């Protein structure tokens, strides 16, 4: 059974407050608050309010696992997945418009993502303030600052120039808009000043929390995309951050055949209940209907098919576009996540999809995905699969990419080969190219929230696909939501919207 210590502390802090029976008069002033947040338990309560925002839930809240939020915005604007409007009238057009790069500043997912990230930053600012005033343990203050940097990194990745603040004593209409580079510089400063102070503990109370290794992975991701954000590449710094992660003793999880796995391989333990600590660096945990949820498989499968497999109906939503699916080799164990063709019982998922929006796809059109094969507790509202925010396979591929970009493709080869061999493929016959790394990232990290960012960095995001032509340059950023512009007249909309 999962133990979700940091989230459960929210409830624990409430019980501490209501459980007091001493009615002697006492002044509850700043000193007592500082005393509380300065304690180990109090510091974790402050952090719990921030971590609670990461879990995927309804109304666009969270990193992944529920719909209409950050994950959908970043995944369905890429080439790896989409929810088509069905010719039976099911599903809104928003997802298809994302895939076709036709989104608008008024779209629900854009607004949800913006609101989620700013609520998370507000909570992180509050935690930093509480912990600093209480002179809390340095590692806990560092954790709050790294969390705040994480949310700002997601913001500039999606929106570019964004409202920036670190003190909650300001009204929304007064928050100044900072350039992408200014916020990038802040993120790097916060991370480089605080990551080394984070706890080095892996697992236990730090399962699902930013320890030192997760902090360095975040720093590596920021450096990996530095050229996109600022115009200046930082491949050497990214590689150095990845090497720091390697000091944490991580390794690729085993990939061999395993009869007890519903998908046939130990590899898929990386996407199950409690994620294996050998490769998982940072996880979003989930126990359906208690803490978060993971809807990714139930949302993909046709209703009667999910009913046969799991005992509850699927949503008949997300599919894998043909041009992404056909890149996978038949001998690649990662292709086992996809369901296509005759499934028995009258279920036949066609690889070809004729329309995403008008008139829409037929009910059984499109390849389905079971990478996150549901674990219990589960029902029609989702499952309890945890979600890998960062894992070592990604770090290995970052090392490969940086080495190639620095002119050392020979040094990149062992990292790419290790990923390929685990997947049942042979080692490359020559040193890898950037296209090799790009393709391998697509195979290895599909449906894990990295694809849009990768496509932009590799200059693939604007290329045409089966359902649209070449996209305009401005589509590399999402628009600032109309509601945010209305609330803060000082904001400037991104070019093109």
Rounded alpha-carbon distances, angstroms, from residue 134 to 43, 94, 130: 9, 45, 6
Domain membership flag for residue 162:
yes
> What was the pLDDT predicted at 31?
53
- Residue 326, Cβ neighbours under 10 Å: how many? 10
* Any domain includes 33: yes
DSSP bridge partners of 284 = 387
- pLDDT, tens digit (0-9, with 9 covering 90-100), for 295-330: 999 999 999 999 999 999 999 999 999 999 999 999
Q: For the chain, how big is the Rg over CA atoms in Å?
A: 23
What is the per-residue pLDDT for 16? 33
Q: Which domain holds residue 231?
A: 5-273+389-466
Low-confidence ranges of the chain (pLDDT < 70): 1-31
Question: Domain for residue 394, yes or no?
Answer: yes
Q: At 227, phi and psi to the nearest 5? A: -65, -35
Place of tokens 């979003």: 284
Q: What is the pLDDT of residues 426-445, one digit of tens each?
A: 999 999 999 999 999 999 99
Residue-level pLDDT at 2: 54
- Whether the CB-CB separation of 346 and 336 falls below 8 Å is answered with no
| 213, part of any domain | yes
344: left (phi over 0), alpha (psi -120 to 50) or beta: left
- Asked whether residue 249 is domain-assigned, the answer is yes
Give the total number of structural domains in the chain.
1
C-alpha dist (Å) from residue 176 to 18, 79, 163, 182:
39, 34, 5, 12
Cα(211)–Cα(48) distance, integer angstroms = 15
We report the CATH number of the domain holding residue 24 as: 1.25.40.390
Domain-embedded: residue 383 = no
Whole-angstrom Cα distance, residue 287 to residue 3?
10
Residue 357 lies in a domain: no
Whether 346 is covered by a domain: the verdict is: no
**pTM greater than 0.85 (yes/no):** yes
- Written as six digits, the tokens of 486 are 């209305």
Q: What is the pLDDT of residue 33?
A: 83
């Amino acid at each position: 059974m999962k133990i979700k210590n940091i989230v459960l502390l929210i409830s624990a802090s409430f019980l501490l407050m209501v459980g007091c029976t001493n009615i002697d008069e006492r002044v509850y002033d700043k000193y007592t608050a500082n005393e509380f947040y300065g304690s180990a338990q109090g510091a974790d309560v402050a952090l719990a309010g921030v971590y609670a925002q990461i879990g995927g839930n309804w109304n666009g809240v969270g990193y992944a696992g529920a719909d209409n939020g950050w994950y959908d915005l970043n995944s369905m604007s890429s080439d790896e997945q989409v929810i088509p409007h069905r010719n039976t009238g099911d599903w809104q057009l928003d997802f298809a418009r994302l895939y076709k790069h036709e989104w608008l500043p008024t779209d629900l997912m854009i607004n949800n993502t913006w609101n989620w990230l700013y609520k998370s930053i507000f909570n992180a600012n509050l935690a930093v303030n509480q912990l600093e005033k209480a002179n809390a343990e340095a590692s806990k203050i560092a954790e709050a600052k790294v969390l705040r940097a994480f949310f700002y990194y997601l913001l500039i990745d999606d929106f570019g120039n964004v409202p920036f603040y670190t003190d909650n004593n300001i009204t929304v209409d007064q928050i100044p808009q900072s350039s992408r580079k200014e916020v990038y510089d802040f993120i790097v400063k916060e991370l480089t000043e605080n990551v080394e102070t984070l706890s080095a503990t892996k697992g236990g109370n730090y399962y699902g929390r930013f320890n030192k290794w997760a902090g360095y992975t975040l720093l590596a991701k920021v450096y990996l995309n530095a050229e996109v954000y600022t115009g200046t590449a930082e491949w050497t710094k990214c590689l150095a951050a990845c090497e720091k992660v390697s000091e944490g003793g991580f390794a690729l999880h085993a990939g061999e055949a395993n009869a007890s796995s519903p998908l046939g391989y130990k590899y898929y333990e990386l996407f199950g209940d409690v994620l294996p600590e050998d490769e998982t660096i940072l996880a979003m945990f989930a126990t359906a209907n208690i803490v978060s949820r993971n809807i990714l498989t139930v949302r993909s499968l046709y209703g009667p098919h999910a009913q046969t497999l799991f005992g509850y109906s699927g949503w008949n939503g997300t599919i894998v576009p043909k041009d992404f699916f056909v890149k996978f080799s038949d001998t690649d164990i990662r292709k086992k996540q996809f369901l296509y063709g005759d499934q028995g019982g009258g279920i036949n998922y066609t690889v070809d999809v004729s329309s995403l929006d008008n008139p829409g796809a037929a009910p059984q059109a499109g390849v389905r995905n079971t990478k996150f094969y549901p674990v219990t507790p589960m029902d029609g509202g989702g499952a309890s699969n945890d979600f890998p925010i960062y894992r070592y396979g990604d770090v290995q591929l970052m090392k490969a990419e940086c080495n190639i970009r620095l002119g050392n493709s020979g040094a990149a080869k062992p990292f790419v080969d290790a990923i390929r061999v685990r997947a049942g493929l042979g080692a490359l016959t020559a040193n890898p190219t950037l296209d090799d790394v790009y393709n391998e990232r697509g195979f290895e990290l599909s449906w894990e929230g990295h694809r849009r960012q990768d496509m932009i960095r590799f200059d693939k995001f604007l290329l045409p696909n089966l359902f649209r032509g070449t996209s305009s340059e401005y589509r590399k950023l999402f628009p600032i939501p109309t509601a945010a512009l209305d609330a803060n007249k000082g904001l400037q909309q991104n070019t093109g919207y």
